[in-house]
Amino acid sequence: MTENFSSTAAFIWSVADLLRGDFKQSQYGRIILPFTLLRRLECVLADKKDAIVAKYDEVKAMPAEAQEQILKHVADLSFYNTSRMDLNHLGETGVADNIEAYVRAFSPSAREIFEQFDFFNTIDKLDEADLLYKVAKRFAVTDLHPDTIDNYHMGLVFEELIRRFAESSNETAGEHFTPRDIVRLTTSLTFIEDNDVLTQPGIVRTIYDPTAGTGGFLSAGMEYVLEMNNRARLVAFGQELNPESYAICKADMLVKGQEVDNIKLGNTLSNDQLEFANFDYLLSNPPFGIDWKKVQKTITDEHKVKGYEGRFGPGLPRVSDGSLLFLLHLISKMRSPQEGGSRIGIILNGSPLFTGGAGSGESEIRRYVLEHDLVEAIIALPTDMFYNTGIATYIWVISNHKPSHRKSKVQLINASTDDKENPQNNFFSSMRKSLGSKRKYLPEESIEEIVRLFGGFKASPENERQISKIFDYQDFGYRRITVERPLQLSFTITKEKLEAYCQQVLETIQKKQPEITDIEAPAGYATLSKLEDGTIFISRKAFLKAVSSDKPTSAEKKALVKFFGEHDDNAEICYFESGKNKGEMEPNPDLRDYENVPLKEDIYAYFEREVKPHVPLAWIDESKRDEQDGQVGIVGYEIPFNRHFYEYKPQRSLEEIDADLDKVSAEIMQLLQEVHS
């Protein structure tokens, strides 16, 4: 079998040498990718070609559906081709017509792949450039037979080609596929707890990826199961937005004998084409930090109308990052625990861990998955692991049928360490040559170690390096209480303030009546202007009594208090004088504050310990209650991963820093002397 997939991909991509000058660099992939797929399908069918063509001559008068079933049976695949031609037998004239006829002879599901690539238009353009025959012949001598390059390595070739295509057209390679080491780790984490079930003879399970890309997760899932049990069968389902990636994924499923009608094209969030389906295993690497403004109305309508009967009942994240929408979508696709349950492996960036405060859409989604005991583990990956970004990423392992020892628990595994002094402590290895932003990879032994840590479900001993930690799900929860302080106002009366108040009143009137250029003295002015300059009231009641002779309206009283009143801890406390709160201290909204109280702790005990000693007059606003449980304080959840694994490193001594500076200064001086000599 081919081990060096890069050399195979490089040989195929060398077709670009023929295209240079006649086509833009950004067009290379749209030519090379479909020809690669065509050659692969041709090689897969080679051993059955004569039998398929012979049977087609027998059944071509039959209805299309009957023909298709018979010919698939003869091919022993989910596709076929009824043409006698191949890339080695196209003739030297009429090549464009011959290739088009050859492609149209594929079964409908295979033919659609080339339609998504706009392949017939590509054929015409190559023909116009007098390059079609040369390109076809180059591919005709490329050996892509399964005996030469198996499905796994063919998948790697596809990925390498799509990456080159993405780079050449200034697109983002990472939007199309996930690196194989990350795929392997995520797949292993998702399947490991079901190893006993998967070894049963004749077992059939389903796998689903709503962001299928080129099919990496679907392929890895099938490979994992087959490694354990070659009599097991994993049925693949997926949906993909990008047409080229969809075409590659569908072709990959074709050669693996999957039902390619299970692979759908379209936006998963706004147009779920597998709406009523549920699956055993669900894997996804949704695009990081992508906004969902284009489909906002559809998603918001589903959230409001269907609620928990739809996919997005728990809440909606901010429109700038739809990562958690994909998580909710996957959860909606899980089988019920009574049907055996499901497991999810999803790769997310850091924001879903902590973005959004109590009551926000993000926090409510975290609350839902944690309180429903769905999160088994979250694994922090090293940076620089993906082709299109170097940011921190995390694998979330989700299950609705946790084993008993994991009930109500969440495991955090920190595989992101970058210890430059002790590199043997790192899980990653550096790549000899970067691929886009991917500068690191997980070697097989690191993948095995992470999976072992997950499977072992044990916290790292306190005296050892902290890699694995176990938490109650409530450890990530808190109640946000509203802390109020009393309104205490003093009022200082000066000539400057009085003039400024008059000007403010005039400007307020002019907003509605611009023609007015002057006004009479506003309410309160007459009395206040008679006071000695610098007079201070430390009581709101006394201040209002002083201006009462001017008979201000309620609105004018509020305006006077707002303009002249300033908070003063030494002033008299203000009390409500009417309404349901009559006699109670009036809060100062400018001093309102919030405290996040750990969910396991009593809010009143916390308040007495952490707040009262500093602001003795403060109180908890008990009207601010959680909508779900009705208790005081709004419940929020966040998973501060880095905080839990933070390791304090003492600063270097001044002597050590000075020594380094002296050393650098000496080197600079030596360089300057060499320049001048």
Q: Quick one: pLDDT at residue 647? A: 75
Cα 362 from Cα 354, distance rounded (Å) = 8
Tell me if 231 sits within 8 A of 200, measured CB to CB.
Answer: no
d(C-alpha 397, C-alpha 375), whole Å = 6
Give yes or no for a contact between 233 and 203, defined as CB atoms under 8 angstroms apart: yes
Tabulate helix, strand, coil % of the chain (nearest 5). Answer: 45, 15, 35
pLDDT of residue 170: 47
Residue with tokens 């400057």: 496
**What pLDDT does residue 677 have?**
64
pTM: 0.85
> Is residue 524 left, alpha or beta, with left meaning phi > 0 and alpha meaning psi from -120 to 50?
left
Listed residue (15, 86, 79) closest to 52, CA to CA: 79
Phi, psi of 484, rounded to the nearest 5 degrees: -110, 150
**Residue 166: per-residue pLDDT:** 64
At residue 176, the pLDDT reads 56
* DSSP single-letter state for residue 313: T
Type and span of the H or E element at 70: helix 64-75
Contact status, residue 32 vs residue 15, Cβ threshold 8 Å: yes
Annotate 575-635 with DSSP letters as a single string.
B--SSTTTTSBPB-GGG-EEEEEETTS-HHHHHHHHTTTT-TT-EE-TT-B-TTT--BBEE
From the number of C-beta atoms within 10 Å of its C-beta (0-12, 13-18, 19+), residue 414 rates as buried
CA distance 465 to 479: 32
Distance CA 569, CA 557 (A): 22
Helix, strand, or coil (residue 661): helix
Start-to-end CA span in the chain (Å): 61
Report which of 418, 326, 423 is spatially closest to residue 380, judged by C-alpha positions: 418
Dihedral angle, C-alpha 54, 56, 62, 63, nearest 10 °: 160
Residues 6+ apart with CB under 8 A from 140: 39, 86, 87, 88
Mean pLDDT by 10-residue block, N- to C-terminus, for the chain (677 residues)? 70 90 87 92 92 93 91 90 91 88 93 92 94 93 89 77 67 61 94 85 92 89 86 92 87 82 94 95 91 95 96 96 96 96 96 95 98 98 86 95 96 92 87 82 94 96 91 97 97 95 91 86 91 95 93 93 96 93 94 97 97 96 96 97 82 81 86 77
Instruction: Output the pLDDT for position 51.
Output: 95
Q: Calculate the alpha carbon distances from 620 to 263, 480, 572, 584, 634 in Å.
A: 54, 11, 21, 13, 12
Distance from C-alpha of 112 to C-alpha of 597, rounded to nearest angstrom: 57
> Are 536 and 490 contacting, i.e. CB atoms less than 8 angstroms apart?
yes
- Residue 203, SS3? coil
Q: With beta carbons less than 8 A apart as the criterion, state whether 48 and 146 touch.
A: no
